[in-house]
Structure 1
Amino acid sequence: MLIELKLNEFTAIADTFGGELISYKDESGLEYLWNGDEKYWVGRSPHLFPIIGALKDNTTIIDGQKFSINKHGFARNSDFLVAEKGSNFILFLLRSNDDTRKFYPYEFELYIKHELIEYGFKTSYCIKNIDDKPISFCIGGHVGFKVPLNNDESFDEYSILFDKRITNEAMIPPNDEAFSKEESIPYINNTNVLPLNYEIFDIGAIILDKIQSHSVVLKHNKRNHGVRFCFEGFPVLALWTFPKKRAPFICLEPWHGLPAMTDDSKYFEEKPYMITIDQNKQCNLGYTVNIIKFNRII
């Protein structure tokens, strides 16, 4: 079910399937989010829970039992309930059920809130432990932005600007198999600017681990329009567009977790950046998007 949100002259559309925000338009009607064109990629802005990427050997052990969880988890293919709604916000809820227990044996509530703010929107995650024991999980965003924003522009006229220099080389997994941190690309090291071009994504996602920068700007190099993306609390940022398709979008992905690594433990709770919360406790994370227009940066 699609739900329209509005704040002043800004509008957005949220979808109960996957709990996603699938459209955000400014007062002129300009779209900022990826539209899911099947020619390139039918995804839009999926939420990654309870894993990031794939599992090593596609299996893991939770409470002594072996489980298999699909890539990026099940939240992105789940129907969410509407827990609360206002004119400018929506609160989605996914509660553990018979389907989720086939992959993930914990009892939980995953709340996702999308809220329109002045010149942008905020997405918030709240994971509640309703089990009788601690639960563990990873969580992340996968926000697809339309690039270029205008038809008379090109993808390589845009850049990503980090608020701090990237001092750790980025990792590129060669495929969905487990990989090591030695597989890295040196050209992002010691810079705060990444000019976009399709070739750097021909293998796959660029993963920035232990990132010190938690605010990035995605914008046109000359026209100075785009978005500022803030993701405080996430230790990893991934950048991705569909390899070798020259697709008109890029995903900014804040992660609290990593895909399968060659040195991963077989035990779920020991995966990198795993979050564990006790009974009746909760974890809160989120990201904020502010649009950039002309010479005004929010």
Structure 2
Amino acid sequence: MTTTISNSILSAKINHKGAELVSLQNLETKREYIWEGKPEFWGKHSPILFPIVGTLKNNSYEYEGKIFSLNRHGFARDFDFQLIVQETDKVVFSLQYNSDTFCIYPFKFELQLIYTLKKSELIITYKVINKDQKTIPFSIGGHPAFALNDTFERYSLEFESGEKLISYTLEKDLLSNKTKNIELKNNQLPLTYSLFEKDALVFKSLQSKQIKILENNSTILNFKFNDFPHFGIWTKINAPFICLEPWLGYADTTNANGNILDKEGIQLVESNSYKEYNFSIEII
């Protein structure tokens, strides 16, 4: 089941499973900006990563002396969300803790995904609500895949700052202490599949809080992520999409001790409180 919101410029379609954005279209040009999800490359569009981002060491974590199993990127993307607010240009989806989540993530939470259209921009808000009597540890992130209509090498990413990018290498899906430096030219990173031969580019920090996608040197969208300190960029070899992934948290390091409270990048939300973060996609 899907729900669509729109204004005079854009329409966005959200699947109730995972509250996943599956379409963002310019109504005038009919251009589709979200990857269509062909399974031969990657069968998703823009999944939510919660309550972890990336992979845990041994796919498990320890909390209060107990071991819990949790698969890569968590479970929120696999559950049906409830539509709790519906307006022409805004929707709010909610996932509440339940017996299935509690046995692998022993916390009473509510996760809301809020989609809002404002002119040529889609704002995506994550709201993590603690309904428990104890502090909840979590990570959260986005994984939107943007459709590339032309040859991959005709695209580039333009960073807000002319920084030196430091990407952490993945070893069996875990973050190693090995890094590689990526030089920008005029703030731009030309896209080539060779960048992703060892999986995603993983950045523990970026100066930039905006990244533009350029098609044949012309900007097609501006991705803004001011609330997110960590970031990933990913594609499949020969696939016609690029993922820009704003994160709070990232995969376990190879030397992680397994305690969820000691995990690098872990976030905390206090009892009877909430944390809220947003990023946006501006169509140019």
* Inter-partner Cα distance in structure 2 for 1:116 and 1:103: 34
Aligned to 1:230: 224
Residue 9 of structure 1, CA deviation: 4.1
Aligned to 2:25: 25
Residue 158 of structure 1, aligned match among 144, 151, 155:
155
Aligned to 1:264: 256
Change (3 A) 1:46 1:122: same
Q: Deviations over 1:23-47 (max 9, x none)?
A: 0110221101111011211011000
Change (3 A) 1:188 1:51: farther
The alignment status of 1:169 with 2:145, answered yes or no, reads no
Q: Deviations over 1:50-74 (max 9, x none)?
A: 1011101211111221001110000
Q: Secondary structure at the match of 2:71?
A: coil
Aligned to 1:40: 41
Q: Which structure 2 residues correspond to residues 238-249 of structure 1 after superposition, within 5 A?
A: 238-242=232-236, 244=237, 246-249=238-241
Q: Secondary structure at the match of 1:237?
A: strand
Aligned to 1:218: 213
Aligned to 1:291: 283
The alignment status of 1:3 with 2:9, answered yes or no, reads no
The alignment status of 1:279 with 2:280, answered yes or no, reads no
Q: Secondary structure at the match of 1:164?
A: coil
Q: Secondary structure at the match of 1:165?
A: coil
Aligned to 1:129: 130
Aligned to 2:14: 14
Q: Secondary structure at the match of 1:200?
A: helix
Residue 191 of structure 1, CA deviation: 7.0
The answer to whether the 8 A contact 2:167-2:180 is kept is yes
Q: Deviations over 1:135-180 (max 9, x none)?
A: 11000000110113xxxx211111001111233521231432x331
The alignment status of 1:51 with 2:52, answered yes or no, reads yes
Q: Secondary structure at the match of 1:57?
A: helix
Q: Secondary structure at the match of 2:31?
A: coil
Cα root mean square deviation, aligned: 1.5
Amino acid in structure 1 at the alignment position of 2:232? A
Residue 188 of structure 2, aligned match among 182, 193, 196:
193
The answer to whether the 8 A contact 1:169-1:188 is kept is no
Runs of 4+ displaced beyond 6 Å: none
* Inter-partner Cα distance in structure 2 for 1:168 and 1:7: 37
Q: Secondary structure at the match of 2:92?
A: strand
Q: Deviations over 1:162-201 (max 9, x none)?
A: 111233521231432x33122x222347973210011211
The answer to whether the 8 A contact 1:168-1:190 is kept is no
Q: Secondary structure at the match of 1:203?
A: coil
**Paired-residue identity, %:** 33
* Inter-partner Cα distance in structure 2 for 1:264 and 1:189: 31
Residue 133 of structure 1, CA deviation: 0.9
Q: Deviations over 1:10-34 (max 9, x none)?
A: 2111110011111011022110111
* Inter-partner Cα distance in structure 1 for 2:246 and 2:186: 19
Amino acid in structure 2 at the alignment position of 1:254? P
Q: Deviations over 1:61-89 (max 9, x none)?
A: 11221001110000111110001110111
The answer to whether the 8 A contact 1:132-1:279 is kept is yes
Equivalences, count: 283
The answer to whether the 8 A contact 2:229-2:248 is kept is yes
Q: Secondary structure at the match of 2:110?
A: strand
Q: Secondary structure at the match of 1:110?
A: strand
Residue 213 of structure 1, CA deviation: 0.9
* Inter-partner Cα distance in structure 2 for 1:10 and 1:190: 32
Q: Deviations over 1:220-269 (max 9, x none)?
A: 133x1421001012111100001x3x011010000100112022232101
Aligned to 1:103: 104
Aligned to 1:296: none
The answer to whether the 8 A contact 1:137-1:269 is kept is no
Amino acid in structure 1 at the alignment position of 2:263? K
The answer to whether the 8 A contact 1:34-1:144 is kept is yes
* Inter-partner Cα distance in structure 2 for 1:9 and 1:161: 24
Unaligned runs of 5+ in 1: 293-298
Unaligned runs of 5+ in 2: none
* Inter-partner Cα distance in structure 1 for 2:271 and 2:183: 41
